[in-house]
């Protein structure tokens, strides 16, 4: 999970030739666009099915099943009574109103608006609470790894992605069940002649599933603006510049010309180089304004309102910071270097850190350390992992296949060019200075209280799972349940995110990995040795856990979970001014939504580490993946609130036990067959 080396086979042969300003026709399509899809980017958008609202009865059943492992028998009986009253009473009324509202808004999904509101009304600081971190795999070629080189190539590839999206020639996002058969020119030819109103359903015949792309337009050029009570998202999709931060100093740098074309690699390289040179002649920012984006949202809203009461500050902030396409954070040596043997300091720094060189309100920030280690930190309200991961993969692949500059590429000097490279010199008064100091102290205290632990477990990997017919995600989630149970002697609310992007304006659904099947397995395994089931029986229980997990995942992906439905019903009651239904006051509802174990994974080899903060103070934030050579997990927790180290140690033990069961059951099966 932490190796920054590249496995070249993932993307095939890397092109040897480096493109630079002397070999690139900068206004040619080859340079200006990442892709030139035969199918328009939004070709399937119109025909995507709408996110279904589950049957009320089914959501009630699924809720009761999900809470059963974390309740006593008496608590579950009491919850059943409340749920039945809800189902026959106010739940029916709220469900009818939700369906009525959904029918009147066929352009979107029933969850989209309330989910945006949920994010934008929460007053918690963005770092640790919302903004996730994705660390990018390194470049295997030393000449492309230096910070300046990597930053230039990242900028160009990002702009190529963005311009392709805006020109509607980025490949549509499609999940191919069998890419070798359907991710082909033949598939695209068939889709091109399908009526647009039915294109998605035509694609289903090929077992290729188009995904919603409505979030992509906010990937770049978007900023979350703090407001009292509820923030707002502001878009500037046609901006020509990016925001560059270095040691807390802020610069606006033009990367597109007046006609919207990407500038030549040598020009972009020269402008970045001039920022580094300028900054070396300056002191670090004495009042690093980016720290304000770590504050509680109402505090930041009040500080911002005061700050922009100065017309110069208002102009600079809105024109240069809010409107920037994205934020590029160039960290210095003082911010630390990546140590593969101990990645925690760098990961903590990139996840939240001192925040003196960050602007967490931007939809997307590229973080590049002094040694070229690259990460993405993104604001979460505008969208989910599907859009970010597509961007992440495409940009990485582009940099591998056709980097436009190397360590030896000549640059176009930009010394003294204050039109295209603009230092942002704000007027800072004592009230703003005090607000920055307070925000810095508060963030530093929170980050200091954050504990981070990690595990690489090499005995379990993609190959192991394939050989033994195991579901990788199910096995890891089962290990989480076993680890928590044996370390802390209980079962708790567990969250796994599942995308519903197969539907128009789908967001996410919650998959609940703590099930009666996982509980039965854990209890059986933790019995004294003489009462423990055989390896074959335990393996059968693992298969049962996998089957249940797979079914729940399928239901969630198809919009047939219960969490979002109940959330929407609760939101409907609020909109209608109705009293809070008793269901939402039950211990069961509170407990299932108090996610002690919050988990997330992104299945791609381009991400070498992913991390986020716990969602509750005494909880665990678990970023995990299973790769070709190991299973990995990064666990965050707050000191004196949760025991992340104990969980990680227990997780290693859980992996050991599960792998031992699999090996023993296989050996027993072979012995039986040989008789």
Q: Which of the residues are catalytic?
A: 380
Distance of alpha carbon 540 from the chain centroid: 34
Pairing type for strands 364-368 and 374-378 reads: antiparallel
Ordered strands of the 607-611 beta sheet = 421-423, 249-254, 241-246, 327-330, 364-368, 374-378, 133-136, 607-611
* Inter-residue contact 357 to 246 (CB < 8 Å): yes
Distance CA 546, CA 474 (A): 5
Task: Give the whole-angstrom CA distance, residue 657 versus residue 457.
Answer: 13
DSSP 497-560: EEE-TTSBT--EEEE----HHHHHHHHHHTS-GGGSPPHHHHHHHHHHHHHHHHHHHHHHHTT-
Alpha-carbon dihedral angle through residues 590, 592, 597, 598, given to the nearest 10 degrees: -90
Helices (H), 558-586: 563-575
Report the chain's C-alpha Rg in angstroms. 26
**Tokens 């899809």 appear where?**
37
In whole angstroms, what separates CA 126 from the centre of its chain? Answer: 13
CA 499 to chain centre: 11
CA dist 264 and 27 (Å) reads 9
CA pair distance 12, 527, nearest whole angstrom: 49
Q: Cβ-count burial of 201 within 10 angstroms (0-12 exposed, 13-18 middle, 19+ buried)?
A: middle
Half-sphere exposure of 269 (CA within 13 A, CB side): 23
- Judge whether 631 and 476 are in contact, CB under 8 Å: yes
Contact yes or no for 296/438 (Cβ under 8 A): no
Phi, psi (rounded to 5 degrees) for 190: -65, -40
Torsion angle in degrees (nearest 10) through CA of 378, 383, 388, 389: 130
Helix axes 644-674, 472-488, angle to 10 degrees: 120
User: How far apart (Å, rounded) are the C-alpha atoms in residues 543 and 534?
Assistant: 14
User: Rounded to whole angstroms, how far apart are CA atoms 132 and 380?
Assistant: 8
Q: How many CB atoms neighbour CB 523 within 10 A?
A: 12
* Pair of tokens at residue 271: 């402008």
Residue found by looking up tokens 């009570």 in the block: 229
Q: Which tokens go with 490?
A: 């209980």
Distances (CA, A) of 110 to 160, 410, 553: 33, 53, 20
Residue 605: other Cβ atoms inside 10 A: 16
Is the Cβ–Cβ distance between 406 and 184 less than 8 Å?
A: no
- Dihedral (CA of 531, 534, 538, 544) sign: negative
- Helix (H) / strand (E) element for 447: namely helix 430-449
CA separation for the pair 160, 156 (Å, rounded): 6
Interatomic CA distance for residues 503 and 649, integer angstroms:
40
């Amino acid at each position: 999970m932490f190796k920054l080396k590249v496995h070249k086979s993932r993307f095939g042969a890397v092109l040897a030739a480096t493109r630079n300003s002397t070999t690139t026709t900068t206004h040619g399509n080859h340079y200006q666009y990442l892709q030139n899809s035969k199918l328009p980017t939004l070709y399937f958008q119109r025909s995507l099915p709408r996110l279904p609202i589950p049957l009320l009865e089914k959501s009630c059943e699924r809720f009761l099943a999900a809470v059963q492992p974390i309740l006593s028998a008496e608590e579950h009986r009491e919850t059943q009574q409340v749920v039945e009253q809800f189902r026959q009473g106010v739940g029916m009324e709220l469900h009818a109103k939700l369906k009525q509202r959904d029918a009147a808004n066929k352009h979107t999904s029933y969850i989209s608006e309330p989910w945006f509101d949920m994010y934008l009304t929460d007053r918690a600081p963005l770092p640790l609470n919302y903004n996730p971190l994705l660390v990018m795999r390194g470049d295997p070629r030393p000449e492309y790894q230096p910070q300046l080189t990597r930053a230039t190539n990242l900028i160009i590839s990002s702009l190529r992605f963005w311009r392709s999206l805006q020109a509607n020639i980025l490949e549509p996002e499609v999940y191919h069940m069998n890419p070798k058969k359907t991710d082909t020119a033949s598939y695209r030819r068939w889709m091109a002649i399908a009526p647009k109103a039915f294109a998605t359903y035509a694609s289903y015949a090929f077992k290729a599933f188009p995904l919603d792309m409505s979030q992509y337009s906010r990937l770049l050029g978007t900023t979350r603006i703090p407001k009292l009570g509820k923030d707002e998202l502001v878009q500037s999709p046609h901006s020509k510049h990016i925001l560059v931060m270095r040691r807390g100093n802020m610069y606006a740098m033009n990367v597109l010309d007046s006609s919207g074309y990407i500038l030549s690699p040598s020009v972009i390289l020269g402008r970045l180089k001039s920022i580094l040179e300028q900054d070396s002649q300056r002191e670090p920012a004495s009042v690093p304004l980016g720290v304000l984006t770590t504050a509680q949202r109402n505090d930041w809203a009040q500080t911002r309102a005061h700050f922009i009461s100065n017309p110069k500050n208002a102009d600079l902030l809105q024109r240069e910071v809010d409107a920037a396409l994205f934020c590029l954070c160039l960290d210095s040596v003082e911010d630390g270097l990546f140590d593969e043997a101990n990645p925690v300091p760098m990961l903590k720094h990139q996840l939240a850190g001192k925040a003196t060189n960050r602007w967490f309100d931007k939809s997307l920030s590229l973080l590049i350390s002094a040694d070229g280690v690259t990460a993405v930190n993104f604001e979460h309200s505008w969208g989910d992992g599907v859009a970010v991961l597509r961007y992440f993969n495409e940009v990485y692949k582009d940099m591998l296949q056709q980097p436009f500059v190397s360590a030896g590429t000549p640059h176009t000097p930009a010394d003294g060019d204050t039109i295209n490279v603009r230092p942002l010199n704000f007027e800072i008064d004592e009230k703003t200075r005090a607000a920055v100091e307070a925000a810095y102290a508060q963030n530093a205290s929170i980050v200091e209280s954050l504990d981070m632990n990690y595990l690489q477990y090499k005995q379990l990997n993609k190959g192991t799972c394939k050989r033994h017919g195991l579901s990788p995600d199910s096995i890891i989630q089962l290990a989480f349940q076993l680890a928590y149970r044996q370390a802390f002697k209980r079962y708790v609310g567990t969250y796994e995110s599942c995308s519903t992007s197969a539907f128009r304006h789908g967001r996410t659904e919650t998959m609940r990995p703590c099930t009666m099947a996982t509980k039965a397995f854990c209890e059986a395994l933790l019995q004294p040795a003489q009462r423990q089931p055989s390896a074959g029986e335990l393996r059968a229980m693992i298969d049962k856990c996998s089957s249940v997990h797979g079914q729940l995942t399928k239901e969630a992906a198809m919009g047939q979970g219960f969490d979002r439905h109940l959330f929407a019903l609760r939101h409907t009651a609020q909109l209608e001014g109705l009293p809070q239904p008793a269901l939402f006051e039950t211990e069961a509802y509170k407990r299932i939504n108090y996610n002690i174990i919050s988990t997330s994974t992104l299945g791609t080899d381009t991400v070498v580490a992913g991390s986020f903060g716990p969602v509750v103070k005494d909880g665990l934030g678990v970023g995990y993946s299973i790769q070709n050579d190991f299973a990995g997990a990064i666990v965050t927790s707050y000191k004196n609130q949760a025991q992340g180290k104990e969980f990680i140690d227990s997780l290693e033990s859980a992996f050991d036990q599960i792998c031992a069961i699999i090996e023993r059951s296989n050996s027993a099966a072979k012995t039986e067959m040989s008789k």
